[in-house]
Chains A and B, each alone.
Chain A
Amino acid sequence: DIQMTQSPSSMSASLGDRVTITCQASQDIGNNLIWFQQKPGKSPRPMIYYATNLANGVPSRFSGSRSGSDYSLTISSLESEDMADYHCLQYKQYPYTFGAGTKLELK
């Protein structure tokens, strides 16, 4: 199975900060990666698909990038509504696998 190593597991940041979360894939997944945002008691919300494409309705301060086997989600200027858990998912190969998640909190 493809392992997705997500880091950090948690972080705190201030409003207006630039924030980056990373997932490293254990095998080549091409760009077959989705980033999700999940708020308490809610379903995951797709934010980025195919590694770099913004999902419908997602603010432009969110972006996705790839460098080799490392995939990153960046929030260019953190807003209070961005406090949430973030998850990555590879859908290159079955079984699809998620990263362990990142909890983003306000400093």
Chain B
Amino acid sequence: EVQLVESGGGLVKPGSSLKLSCVASGFTFSSYGMHWIRQAPKKGLEWIALIYYDSSNKYYADSVKGRFTISRDNSKNTLYLEMNSLRSEDTAMYYCAKRLSDYWGQGVMVTVSS
């Protein structure tokens, strides 16, 4: 059974940093590109980043480019999202996904507030 379990969220102050993790199981993690998507409270979905299976390519939404970094450790079956210079508008539920048409995690909440 495929599982994606996000962690690392919480309440942080504007300007601070946070690193999310997504632990994958039930499939060959090292064979698949992985995504991060977020959803602000009562708002729509926003795709924010993709990393290729071998980390050779990374793509970002303009809203997070230069502040967020997607990475992965295939030996640990784990996807990461390092978030710096956090703003109130980054407050959202963050989801990881294995192929957007496939499996999504349950999400982890990040709240940026003073």
* Bound complex: CA A103 to CA B37 (Å): 20
Judged by DSSP, the binding face of A is loop
| B102 and A98 contacting across the interface, CB-CB below 8 Å | no
Closest chain-B Cβ to A58's Cβ sits at a distance in Å of 11
A97 within 8 A of B: yes
Residues from 33 to 77 in A contacting B, C-beta threshold 8 Å: 34, 36, 38, 43-46, 49-50, 55
| B44 and A100 contacting across the interface, CB-CB below 8 Å | yes
| B44 and A46 contacting across the interface, CB-CB below 8 Å | no
Stretch at the interface among B20-28, B57-65, B74-82: B57-65
* Bound complex: CA A100 to CA B39 (Å): 11
Residues of B within 8 A of A50 (CB): 101
Residues of B within 8 A of A46 (CB): 100-102, 104
Q: Which residues in A have some Cβ–Cβ distance to B below 8 Å? A: 1, 34, 36, 38, 43-46, 49-50, 55, 87, 89, 91, 94-101
